[in-house]
């Protein structure tokens, strides 16, 4: 989308808190590990052993591998495909989410998703 709509003008965020002191830049430090310790059984092991790296593509617009990975993750989380719609396996309610876009000029990004 960055390449197609914005001619590569944006760089990829690697953290929820990109460009702030809270951005994840490396493995958790000792203080972070102490905070995470009570939740260790509930968190994936990768939280403690891997630096987050968001999925990438070659930018050609045909990201089938990433789409398949995302679909598998949604399936594992209980959001299954039923009649061409992604629904909760237990409740049958459709998956929905909200995009918060600070600038009206970036509205096309939300519609492209």
pLDDT digit of tens for each residue in the chain (113 aa)? 667 777 777 777 777 777 788 777 788 889 989 999 999 999 989 888 888 777 777 777 677 888 899 999 999 999 999 999 999 999 999 999 887 766 666 555 555 44
pLDDT given for residue 80 in this prediction: 97
DSSP letter for 15, please: S
The three-state secondary structure class of 40 is helix
The CA distance from 74 to 67, in Å, is 10
Predicted structure pTM score: 0.55
The three-state secondary structure class of 33 is helix
DSSP letter for 103, please: -
């Amino acid at each position: 989308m960055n390449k197609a709509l914005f001619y590569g003008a944006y760089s990829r965020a690697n953290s929820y808190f990109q460009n702030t002191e809270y951005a994840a830049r490396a493995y958790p430090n000792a203080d972070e590990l102490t905070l995470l310790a009570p939740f260790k059984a509930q968190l994936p092991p990768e939280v403690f052993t891997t630096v987050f790296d968001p999925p990438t593509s070659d930018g050609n617009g045909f990201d089938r591998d990433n789409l398949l990975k995302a679909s598998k993750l949604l399936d594992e989380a209980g959001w299954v495909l039923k009649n061409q719609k992604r629904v909760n396996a237990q409740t049958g309610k459709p998956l929905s989410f909200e995009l918060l876009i600070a600038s009206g000029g970036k509205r096309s990004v939300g519609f492209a998703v």
